[in-house]
């Protein structure tokens, strides 16, 4: 039984590593003009490990620049919410914002903290936020350095809850 559990944990680790190294996929769009409005959930890793590096090589600086680029490239009609992912994730806006300047200001004001990120909780927070979105497409993007401690690989119950919550969403998000 112990060997089986270790095998399952190792397999889960490889699956999660594949997700961590995967590049975003451009999915075909449908609807009028080929585009549908999208709610983007930007999960920002606020953990201690994001302090790694200096200046523009800082892990958090790189993550923030990627998030700012995503906000700048949002289509008209898209909105976004920022989730600050520490030990207990929280949304930074009362509701997803359509205003790129508001999103940019919030992203630029963030600095990494001294906590450990909890990826399952951050994803749960993202899915709860998506439940109230009225836009036809949903996208969840995690900006992180991929440090292993935040993934909570040994907490199978938390990952099961994430999977169950994703299944009950009316619109399946691109993650």
**SS3 readout for 12-72:** HHHHHHHHHHCCCCCCCCCCHHHCCCEEEEEEEECEHHHHCCCHHHCHHHHHHHHHHHHHH
| Residues forming beta bridges with residue 42, ordered by sequence position | 82, 141
Alpha carbon 11 to its chain's center: 22
Give the model's pLDDT for residue 21: 67
pLDDT at 31 (0 to 100): 40
65: nearest Cα among 76, 53, 77 = 53
CB 118 within 8 A of CB 159: no
Report pLDDT for 35.
80
Task: Look at residue 9 in the predicted model and tell me its pLDDT.
Answer: 84
- Can you name the residues that pair with 91 across neighbouring β-strands? 83
Contact 97, 81 (CB under 8 A): yes
* CA distance readout (Å), 94 to 31, 62, 78, 90, 97: 29, 26, 16, 10, 9
SS3 175: coil
Half-sphere exposure at residue 135, Cβ-oriented, CA atoms within 13 angstroms:
24
Q: Are 59 and 65 in contact (CB under 8 A)?
A: no
Q: Which residues in the chain come in under a pLDDT of 50?
A: 26-33
CA distance 6 to 55: 39
- Which DSSP helix (H) or strand (E) runs through 80? strand 79-85
């Amino acid at each position: 039984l112990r060997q089986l559990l270790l095998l399952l944990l190792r397999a889960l680790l490889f699956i999660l590593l594949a997700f961590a190294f995967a590049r975003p996929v451009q999915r075909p769009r449908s609807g009028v003009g080929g585009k549908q409005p999208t709610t983007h959930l930007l999960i920002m890793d606020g953990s201690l490990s994001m302090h790694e590096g200096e200046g523009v090589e800082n892990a958090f600086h790189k993550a923030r620049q990627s998030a700012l680029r995503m906000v700048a490239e949002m289509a008209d009609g898209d909105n976004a919410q920022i989730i600050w992912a520490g030990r207990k994730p929280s949304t930074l806006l009362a509701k997803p914002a359509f205003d790129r300047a508001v999103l940019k200001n919030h992203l630029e004001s963030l600095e990494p903290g001294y906590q450990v990120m909890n990826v399952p909780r951050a994803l749960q927070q993202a899915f709860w936020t998506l439940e109230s979105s009225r836009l036809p497409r949903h996208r969840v993007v995690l900006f992180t350095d991929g440090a292993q401690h935040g993934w909570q690989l040994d907490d199978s119950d938390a990952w099961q809850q994430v999977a169950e919550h994703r299944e009950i969403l009316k619109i399946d998000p691109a993650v």
